[in-house]
Each structure stands twice: as C-alpha cells, then as structure tokens.
Structure 1
Amino acid sequence: MNTTAATQAAETIASGREQAASILVTARQKGVLVERLPVEVLPANLDDGFAIQQEVSHQLGRRIAAWKCALPQPEKVVAAPIYDADVHRGDVCRMSGPPRASVRAEPELACLLDRDLPPRREPYNEAEVLDALGHTHLALELLGSRYSHPERLSFPELLADGLFNAGLVIGPRVCLPDGATPADLPLEFDLSLTRVGEKTVSFMGRHPDRGALAPIVWLVNFLRVRGLGLYAGQAVITGSYAGVLELPVGRELRIGFGELGTLPITFLSC
C-alpha cells in the first residue's frame, strides 16, 4: 500500500470512529437507546472498540473522574471511563432520565489516587502503583447501556459504549488496620442489603480477580502504552463482589460490606 492509499485508509478509519462515537454521544445526551451501530462503523476488534470509546470521551468533553477495570480475559478487555457528572457522593443519588422503579448496581470498592501515574515509556510495577493509591471507599457502580439490546452485541461494541457504565456512587471510606494498604483488602466478606424497616438479606461477596491491586496495575500499563494515564483524585473500581443487584428507588437502603463498613443510599428519580 502506497503512502497516499495508507493515508486515505487511516482517514476512513478515523471518520468511522468519529461517526460511531457521535451516535453513542447523542444517545447519552438525549437518554435514548440505539439498536446497534451502523454496520459500516462497527468496531472490528478490541482496539477499534477502545478507540471509539476514547472518541466518545473526546466528543463529550467531560472530565474522567473514575475508571472501571478487570484483569483481561481471552477476547475481552475491561477498561472504561466514568465521567464526573455521573459520580455521586452522599446518602442520596438522584437518577436522571425517565422515572424508574429500580436501579441496577454492583457493590465494589473504589481506590482513590493520591498521585498521578502519567504515561511513560517504562512499565509501572506494583510498588509504584501502590504508592500512588490513597484511601479506599465503599462504592456502587451504576449500570446502564446506550444500546436497546446489549446482550445481542459483540464485546468490541460494548467496549465502545463503556461496558455498561452509567455512574458511580462513592460511599464511606474503608477503615483499614494500621499499616494496611489496598493490597490487603479482603478477597471475600459478607455482604448485606437492608431496606429500612424490613429484614436484612445477607450473602457472600467475593472479588472476581485476585484482589484490587492487580487490575489497577494492569489498567495503568494498558493506558500507558496508549498515551493515557491515571491522575490524583480519580477513582478506580475493579469488579463486583456480588454480581448485579436490583435496588429499589425511593427507599432508604443500607448496604453492608462486612467489617469494611456500611454504605447508606437512597435513589431518587429527578
């Protein structure tokens, strides 16, 4: 392929990614669902899906306040931004969009960064990443999609849309023993869900990977080679301890994370 043909091919790919991102951005902004992206701009692979995801961030123009991640699996890369307007703190979370009876959420732990981990040539090791991490907080990842039937779509299409990210609730700080770090967070603990005035439901929670630190180290280096970084003040979540919970709107809830603490939350429709 000559230089002119290569340039034209690159421009065509970039134009397709911009078009795909524009469709997903419009869906986010208007609160509408699309069946899927047009066939001519479908992401062909994981790299293409992530590139569309990054173009969505560019077109939205929002600050990235958090990332979700997990250790990679065959044909799957879990890395997606969560934007500042979608991060909630406090005991009340007002949900935008049409009224709803429930919210789909995943109980997680959010590790906050105290120091920047900017892109660089050399890989980051565990000690460097651990040194950059600050407090850990109880959290809920709020789930949603810009697709009407995401279960029918390929993983690169889901990656382009941010892997179901719709927001993040950052709750109370986890009080770790003196000298403990995010590397010492438990792999499993008892979770509980209490609707105020009703009986508490308890179940076992377990981290889907081998702890919170390894996915964050992977994420830092995944972003690094793409010219991206993590920065002080951002949060990172690394997987649900109990799959997806259906949480009612308009009820006072208390979600217990074993000895790590309790997250009180009430979801309200705007």
Structure 2
Amino acid sequence: MDLAITLAEAIRNGGSVDIDAVSQPDLVEAYAIQSTILARLGIDPKGCKLSLRSDGVLRAPLLSVTEAASFSHEPGLKLEVEIALVLGRDLPHRAEPYGRPEIRDAVAGVHIGIEFVRSRYAGGPQGRTALLVADLMSNAGYRVGPALEASVLDEGRAADDLRVTAGNQSLFDAPGVHPDGNPLAALVAYANEAGRPDGTLRQGMVVTTGSLCGGLGILAPGIVTIALGQTTWSLEVFG
C-alpha cells in the first residue's frame, strides 16, 4: 500500500487508514511522503507547524491557512488553540546562528491561532513518530484569528487564562500554557537547523509551535468561542 496515496485520499475524502496495513517509514521517508501528499492535493502550503523534541524539531505543512471564521466538521475532529506567528521576512540558511531577539524581530504579527487536527489513522498514530509526521502531524487546517500583544512572546511571562466553549459546553478553562514554555522556542531551534529544507521559513508564512490546551474534541457542528486573556474570538464549525 502506497502510504502517500492512501493518506492523500483519506485527507481528501475524510476517510481513515488501518495503521497495521501500512509499512512504517523512517523520518526521511515521512518528509518525502508529506511532499507527495501536497503535490497530489495541489497545495502550496502557507504555513507550518513545529514540534520541539529533545533530538530536534518535527515539522509539517498546514493544509490551509485562512482568516475565515468557519471550518467543516468531520468525525474525529479536534481543535487546538495556539499562538500564530506571522513572519515579516525570510529566514534563510546561514552560517551564523540566529539569536532569539533576531527571530522575535522577524515576527511581524502575533495572533490567536486555531489548528484543526484529525489523525488519518484509525486509532491514531500510536506513538509512531514517522507515521505521525507522514500524516502532516494530523493537521486538517488552520485559522488565524485576532491579533495579540507581542508581549505574549516575552520569556517568563505568566500564561493568560484560556476559555474555550462549544455552545454552552465548556471545553477548557485554565491558564493557556505553551508546552515549550514559550511560543518562540521551536522556531528559534528550527531556524538554526542545518538540514531544514530551503524556503521553509518565508516572509508571510504562518508558523505555529504547540497547543495551549491540548486537543479538544469537537463532537458536533456549532459555534466555538475562544477567550485568551482579554481577546475573544468565535468561529463556526459547520456540518
């Protein structure tokens, strides 16, 4: 079974893949599968998601990046509230490492970001990193919301309260703590990775680096409201 073709079809038609019916790629193959999926779907990605790990940074393209306050519901859909970083200039490879202040200066906009995620594997990737990466790290689409104060990128800053509701149901109500301690950490690390592909960090791209609330199940269509600190945003998950 060609994993790239199978995953592309599952993304296209909302289907799922039997994880035991596919061979496990290595990480290099998984990134090649990402590229094949994008080509089959005709997508030129406008952003990427980064996940900082002890041995480096995992990456995946975002299938869609828009400011539309709506998204189509599908079974298994989850929502993650994130910090969307909009690059104001290219960050090309170079011999001199990028420092955190320079990376921060390269971020032209900071927004609430909503990532919709759905694993295309029935039962999820089951801790198999390369399979997760091949599946675009479960990305189903991304929505860029209202602007936030740039101070959310300050090191040591206390997390803002985050409240997420779906209709009258509370999905999350606690401080929105970033898994890396700060939204910039993974971007700084990735910008300095010698092996990253050319053109991955370009002006205008949206970069997201982790959820403030984990994945919140969206069981049915409806209105979802996100309140992060003093900023509130509502969007429709429609059937």
TM-score by length of 1: 0.76
CA distance in structure 2 between the partners assigned to 1:254 and 1:185 by the alignment: 27
Contact 1:119 1:229 in 2 (8 A): no
Q: C-alpha separation between the residues in 1 aligned to 2:119 and 2:47?
A: 17
Match of 1:94 among 71, 84, 93: 71
Q: 2:5 aligns with which of 22, 31, 34?
A: 22
Contact conserved, 1:249 with 1:266, CA < 8 A, in 2?
no
Summarize deviations over 1:19-63 as a string: whole Å, max 9, x none: 432222222223321113755x531x3233223223323443311
Corresponding position: 1:152 with 2:126: yes
Equivalent residue number for residue 173 of structure 2: 202
Higher-Rg member (1/2) = 1
Deviations 1:214-242 (A, max 9, x none): 11112223376433421122111111111
Instruction: Name the aligned partner's letter for residue 81 of structure 1.
Output: P
Aligned to 2:238: 268
CA distance in 2 between partners of 1:201 and 1:214 (Å): 24
Gaps in structure 1 of 5+ consecutive residues: 1-15
Give the Å deviation of 1:184.
5.3
Are 2:62 and 1:62 equivalent residues in the alignment? no
Identify the structure with the greater helix proportion: 1
Match of 1:129 in 2: 103
1:111 equivalent in alignment to 2:85: yes
Over 3 Å counting, the alpha-carbon distance change for 1:136 and 1:50 in structure 2 is: same
Is 1:78 matched up with 2:62? Answer: no
**Counterpart contact for 2:82–2:113, Cα < 8 Å:** yes
> Cα 1:204–1:183, aligned 2, differ >3 Å: closer, same or farther?
closer
2:14 matches 1:31? yes
- Letter paired with 2:160: F
Q: Is the 8 A contact 1:223 1:229 kept in 2?
A: no
C-alpha change, 1:198 and 1:163, in structure 2 (3 Å) is closer
Q: Percent sequence identity over matched residues?
A: 29
Helix, strand or coil: the match of 2:28?
Answer: helix
Determine helix, strand or coil for the equivalent of 1:22. helix
Aligned pair 1:143/2:117, yes or no? yes
| Count of aligned pairs between the two proteins | 239
One-letter identity of the residue aligned with 1:87: V
TM-score by length of 2: 0.84
Flag structure 2 segments of 5+ consecutive residues without an equivalent: none
Shift in CA distance, 27/223, structure 1 to aligned 2, threshold 3 Å: farther
| Partner Cα distance (1:31, 1:187) in 2 | 38
Tell me, what secondary structure is at the counterpart of 1:238?
Answer: strand
| Cα distance between partner residues in 1 of 2:4 and 2:171 | 43
Q: Secondary structure at the match of 2:203?
A: coil
